[in-house]
Amino acid sequence: MSPLNDLLMPKLGLTMTEGMLIEWCVAAGDQVKAGDPLFVVETDKVANEIAAEADGLIGEILVPAGETVPVGAVVAHWTGPGQQAVQEPGGSAPAESPAASVPAVPPAPATGGRIVATPLARRLAREMDLDLAGVVGTGPGGRIKAADVRHAKAPAPEAPLQERGQRVAASGLVQSMARRMTQAKQVPHFYLAAEAEIGELLDLRRRLNDQPGAPRLTLNHFVIAAVARALAALPQQNRIWSDGQIVQFDEVDVGVAVSTERGLMAPVLHGLAAATLDGIARQSDGLLERVRSGNATHADMNGGAISISNAGMFNVTYMTPIINPPQSAILGVGSVRDVFRPDAQGAPALKREMGLVLAADHRLHDGAGALKFLNYVIDLLQDPYRLLRTQTQG
């Protein structure tokens, strides 16, 4: 059948190599029109509905729902208007010939009450305290060999232990997450840890949230803004490694780890190069709503060179995160802690500090560049009024 009559697993992202076909929306023999949904593919924790590009008739479905296949694999056949369905060549399978019966090997023949066995077999039988009368010989004329004795004496295999628990088939989302985490550990990580003193930021946040009519700002919105500003100022950090090549991004996009009922997901905020704090808050709120309601788009779940994973609400001092491929970095955010530090005169002063851990891909980033990036983020968090300016002023 012509490739024009093949439905293929589409490539839905820059680094997509396979997808799970989780649902068929049509059956063999169905007439479809352009735009009708054909099947649903799950990749990167997002379900993508694949629509018909033209009118046609669905032929044979080759890939059942629930299977994972590589990009470009044929999942079904179809015929367009005016085309004749082509029967795949091939006849009925030849009938299987009946398996020849294999006669059981009789026990070793006894000649006048004498068992035929090799000398080594007899010696092994004596050492093992084994009666040769019950041993099946496989040598010529049923002669017992040493291997027959060893086989007869070998202990029966123990019955497998009963598993205490239940086996449950992993969902497509769980399988996708498992693949990505395995892939993530192939990335050569290195880590940098530091603290940011955010007392002034917390005070600014409180004052901004007291203003009526404005979106409510969270600590994470400030971190997102600082990371976005750092990416815009240091574009060499805004790139990823893909298939042996470096991809330099023009746009500033930042991923955010989100806990949902379906598991941990990492949607992406797009176009943050000149975004304000209020703009980040509004875009973030809309994105999280789509993700948690299961309505995230493919674009929502792709893009960006870095994500932020904030575990501060769980009383975690430091978080050492894993890079989310194909991104090249991730920033782990810990809890805000009250600590005493010496002031300029050496007297103890109460500070409010937040632990930060940057994980970076050593194929793209070296220690000096990553340190510069992390310190840029920290400087913005410690001088948060800079985040109120536009990017051209900052």
Cα separation of 156 and 162, whole Å? 18
d(CA 127, CA 150): 11
Q: Tokens for 100? A: 């020849």
Residue 378 dihedral angles phi and psi, to the nearest 5°? -65, -40
The rounded distance, in Å, linking the Cα atoms of 90 and 104 is 39
Is 338 an annotated catalytic residue?
no
Residue 10 zone, left/alpha/beta (φ > 0; ψ -120 to 50; rest): beta
With CA atoms as reference, report the closest residue to 40 among 170, 172, 168, 181.
172
The CA distance from 40 to 25, in Å, is: 8
Q: Which of 285, 343, 366, 383 is an active site residue?
A: 366
DSSP E strands, the chain:
6-8, 18-24, 31-32, 37-43, 46-51, 56-61, 67-70, 74-79, 110-111, 114-115, 189-197, 239-242, 245-248, 254-256, 258-260, 263-265, 268-269, 306-310, 329-342, 348-361
Q: Which tokens hold the place of 75?
A: 């999942």
- Residue 19 tokens read as 């997808």
Whether 270 is catalytic: no
Q: Which pair of tokens denotes residue 90?
A: 């091939």
Element (H, E) at 50: strand 46-51
Query: Hey, what are 227's tokens?
Result: 């990371």
Catalytic residue among 362, 365, 379, 383: 362
What residues does 78 pair with on adjacent strands?
Answer: 58
- Beta bridge partners, 8, equal 74
What is the C-alpha to C-alpha distance for residues 330 and 258, in angstroms, rounded to an integer?
A: 14
Inter-residue contact 298 to 318 (CB < 8 Å): no
d(CA 368, CA 106): 78
Positions marked catalytic: 362, 366
